[in-house]
Amino acid sequence: MIQNKTQNMEAVQSSTYPVTLVLLGEFGCGKSASGNTILGENKFASRATAGPLTTQCQKEERDLNGKRVTVIDTPDFFDQHIKDPERHVRQCREMCKGRECVYLLVIQIGRFTERERDILERLEKKLGRIGERTIILFTYGDNLKYGQSIDDYVRSTDPHLQRLIGKCRDKYHVFNKQEQRRVESAGGEAHGTGI
Ligand SMILES: Nc1nc2c(ncn2[C@@H]2O[C@H](COP(=O)(O)OP(=O)(O)OP(=O)(O)O)[C@@H](O)[C@H]2O)c(=O)[nH]1
Ligand SMILES: [Mg+2]
């Protein structure tokens, strides 16, 4: 049975070592929005678009509770509209060099595409064996049914997605941008999302 592994993310949050988080995934899944959530600042362009918005790797850093957090946002390496994807892969590898990276494979809840079934294998061909250091980051937590937890969702989801989660040692976490907006507009702090 797939267990809730969100505590892995909390472990990443609570240690004082510098951490580098690399956002990967299909265009429009919420990579840049998640990067902004993690940093607590709008550093990455993010909006609903018909095609890919992020076309270059972008690295941003911030001290959060005495911990240096680096976030690397990437374009969808496999989208046909991204020109010279190998250049961006090289740039991503370059940005990761010498760092302890945790890879966040971003998947939108309710939109697991056929192309995403083997996305980890395709990413590993480009970035090396990243599976052991990859956490599935679900976005659109607001798309969960009322009262449905992320664990419930994972338990009843597409077997291909369950297999992908298994390859990431059952590590996953969920972000909910709508919830974060409501907390922010109420003047509070978006808790549980900062890494
Ligand atoms: N409702 C909702 N919208 C979200 C959530 N996360 C991201 N979005 C929206 O999804 C759209 C796409 O998000 P982006 O962050 O630009 O996606 P991306 O993966 O960076 O896309 P590319 O840069 O094109 O590869 C934006 O309009 C975001 O506001 C979420 O948890 N809930
Ligand atoms: Mg983006």
CA of 34 to the centre of ligand 2 (A): 9
Residue 27 CB–ligand 1 contact under 6 Å = yes
Is residue 101 in a domain?
Answer: yes
In this structure, the residue with its CA closest to atom 31 of ligand 1 is 140
In a domain, 117, yes or no: yes
End-to-end CA distance of the chain: 27
Query: Is the CB of 46 inside a 6 Å radius of any atom of ligand 1?
Result: yes
Does residue 34 sit within a domain? yes
pTM, two decimal places: 0.89
Mark out the alpha helices in the chain (DSSP H runs).
6-14, 31-39, 85-96, 119-127, 150-155, 159-167, 177-185
| Any domain includes 192 | no
| pLDDT given at position 64 | 86
Average of per-residue pLDDT across 154-162: 96
Q: What pLDDT does residue 189 have?
A: 39
The ligand with the least distance to the CA atom of 182 is 1
Nearby residues of 88 by Cβ (< 8 Å), 6 or more positions away = 56, 57, 74, 75, 77, 82
pLDDT, position 104: 97
Q: What is the pLDDT of residue 89?
A: 97
- Give the domain range for residue 51: 6-185
- Closest atom of ligand 1 to CA, residue 53: 24
pLDDT band, very low/low/confident/very high, at 155 (cuts 50, 70, 90):
very high
**Cα of 139 to ligand 1 centre, how many Å?**
8
Residue 169 lies in a domain: yes
For 110-120, the pLDDT digits (tens) are: 999 999 999 99
Ligand 2 center–CA 25 separation, angstroms = 9
What whole-number distance in Å separates Cα of residue 31 and Cα of residue 134? 14
| Residue at 68 is within a domain | yes
pLDDT above 60 (res 154)? yes
- For residues 7 and 192, what is the distance between their CA atoms, to the nearest angstrom? 11
Q: Give the strands of the sheet with 134-139, arranged side by side.
A: 58-64, 67-73, 19-24, 101-108, 134-139, 172-174
What's residue 32's pLDDT? Answer: 97
- Nearest ligand to the C-alpha of residue 109? 1
In the reported structure, the alpha carbon of residue 176 is separated from the centroid of ligand 1 by a whole-number distance in angstroms of 11
pLDDT at position 181 over 80? no
Ligand 1 touching residue 176 (CB < 6 A):
yes
User: What is the count of structural domains for the chain?
Assistant: 1
Query: How far, in Å, is the centroid of ligand 1 from the Cα of 67?
Result: 26
77 lines ligand 1 (CB under 6 A): no
pLDDT in tens, 89-139: 999 999 999 999 999 999 999 999 999 999 999 999 999 999 999 999 999
50 within a domain of the structure (yes/no)? yes
Beta strands 58-64 and 67-73, pairing class = antiparallel
Q: Is pLDDT of 191 > 70?
A: no
Percent of the chain with pLDDT over 70: 83
Q: What is the pLDDT of residue 13?
A: 58
CATH, residue 100: 3.40.50.300
149 within some domain: yes
Q: What's residue 9's pLDDT?
A: 59
Average pLDDT of the chain? 87
How far, in Å, is the centroid of ligand 2 from the Cα of 1?
Answer: 33
The number of residues in the chain equals 195
From 3-12, 46-55, 142-151, the region with the lowest mean pLDDT: 3-12
